[in-house]
Amino acid sequence: MEATAEALLAWYDAHRRELPWRAPPGERAEPYRVWLSEIMLQQTVAAAAGPYFHRVLERWPDVGALAAASLDEVLQAWQGLGYYARARNLHAAARIVAAQHGGRFPDSEAGLRALPGVGDYTAAAIAAIAFDRKATVVDGNVERVMARLFRIETPLPAAKKAIRNAAEALTPETRPGDYAQAVMDLGATVCLPRRPRCGVCPWSKDCLARAAGTAESLPVKAPKRQRPVRRGIAYWTEDGAGRVLLRRRPENGLLGGMMEVPSGPWVEEGPPPEAPPVEGAWEPLGAVARHGFTHFILELDVRTGRSAGAPPEGCVWAPIDALHDYALPTAMKKVVRLALAGKDRLI
């Protein structure tokens, strides 16, 4: 194997992507921007994360400003990015950095891993890119590059150790931050999942999978299990004054801390139990809101009703025309859209 970091860095110097969180050539990246982008990129592609990055940075230009924001504000700004635990961890980590580290991010992988939401990959990426520490970065793009370069045919996730060993062997002492971004760029723009652009790859002549004609088949992934379906009942409750009942979900767990159209338990077997938030007569809307989460598919049967008076504990009356001001996850926005079908009001 003759692939070298130097060859990849030469390619990167000529072909690096322009990304909003990336520092100009020769300049050190600002840790806050690197951390913010890496949290967003954990489950989001760069093109989708870009607009959110700009909006968050404009609203909270440094970690102190983000720490001073409320969780509701952060969750509302995060709407549409999904995986909302990232937003809760982002807010919690900002407060720790501001309160315990004087607004300065830890500059080691170990120190970064102590922050909420920062695992091995994210800690390595921040350490390398923001502080130029020698750290081995392995995300999905890097896994694909290494599996092909070294022709690692063991299916994932069993192949992860071999892939990491291969990645560590190539990580250089010099320019580790640029190298980390270079290998991720290579996977994102050249070593593509389908129809890899081997003709322009700086490691093409050293790629064992290309030599064997198996590049596109690697990495081998274990078959995906079919996602189960969970069902529940969502209760759209209006008060006659242009307001709808919303409830805050528990801080811990799926969609933690976000607002929802109150719903009963989500179950995989049998009819979903009825659990209306208030007493009253409930009419089936005749529509089901369907949303796919990572590990299951959710189907919510929407029912409508009316109520008045003070909201139950944990609930608020929200003006229907101002629902965009509330941190509603996509699954609940689908419930809202169904309930408002035929009306002129949309969030």
Measure the CA–CA gap between 180 and 186, rounded to whole angstroms: 10
- Model confidence at 303, pLDDT cuts 50, 70, 90, reads very high
pLDDT at 255: 87
- pLDDT tens digit string along 313-343? 989 999 998 998 898 999 999 999 999 883 4
Spatial contact of 69 and 60, defined as CB atoms under 8 Å apart: yes
Tokens of 72: 């509701």
Q: Look at residue 227 and give its three-state secondary structure.
A: coil
Q: How far apart are the first and last CA of the chain?
A: 56
- pLDDT tens digit string along 146-172? 999 999 999 999 999 999 999 999 999
- Model confidence at 194, pLDDT cuts 50, 70, 90, reads very high
- Model confidence at 43, pLDDT cuts 50, 70, 90, reads confident
Tokens of 260: 């929802």
Strand 229-238 with 297-306, pairing: parallel
C-alpha 48: how far from chain center:
10
Q: What is the 3-state secondary structure (H, E, C) of 131-161?
A: HCCCCCCCCHHHHHHHHHHCCCCCCECCCHH
Measure the CA–CA gap between 144 and 214, rounded to whole angstroms: 12
Q: How does the average pLDDT of the chain come out, rounded? A: 92
- pLDDT tens digit string along 61-90? 999 999 999 998 999 899 888 888 899 999
pLDDT at 1: 55
| Interval 246-254 mean pLDDT | 88
Measure the CA–CA gap between 282 and 234, rounded to whole angstroms: 11
Choose, from 6, 38, 143, 269, the residue flagged as catalytic. 38
Taking the whole predicted model, whether its pTM rises above 0.85 is answered as no
- pLDDT tens digit string along 7-34? 999 999 999 999 999 999 988 899 999 9
119 or 1: which leads in pLDDT: 119
pLDDT at 17: 94
Q: Which residue, among 238, 300, 223, has the nearest Cα to 265 in the 3D structure?
A: 300
Sign of CA dihedral 87, 93, 99, 101: negative
| Interval 55-59 mean pLDDT | 95
CA angle at residue 264 from 260 to 265, to 5 degrees?
A: 110
The amino acid at 339: A
Q: How far is the CA of 83 from the CAs of 58, 73, 80, 294, 333, in angstroms?
A: 22, 16, 9, 9, 15
Domains of the chain: 5-217 (1.10.340.30), 229-339 (3.90.79.10)
- Model confidence at 251, pLDDT cuts 50, 70, 90, reads confident
The residues near 237 (Cβ < 8 Å, ≥ 6 apart) are 244, 245, 262, 277, 278, 280, 304, 305, 306, 307
Measure the CA–CA gap between 60 and 62, rounded to whole angstroms: 6
Count H helices, E strands: the chain? 13, 6
What are the E-state strand segments in the chain?
A: 229-238, 243-248, 259-260, 283-292, 297-306, 315-319
pLDDT at 257: 86
| Interval 126-140 mean pLDDT | 95
Is residue 299 annotated as part of the catalytic site, yes or no?
no
pLDDT at 82: 83
Report, in this order, helix, strand and coil percent for the chain, each rounded to 5: 40, 15, 45
> 């369907």: which residue's tokens?
290
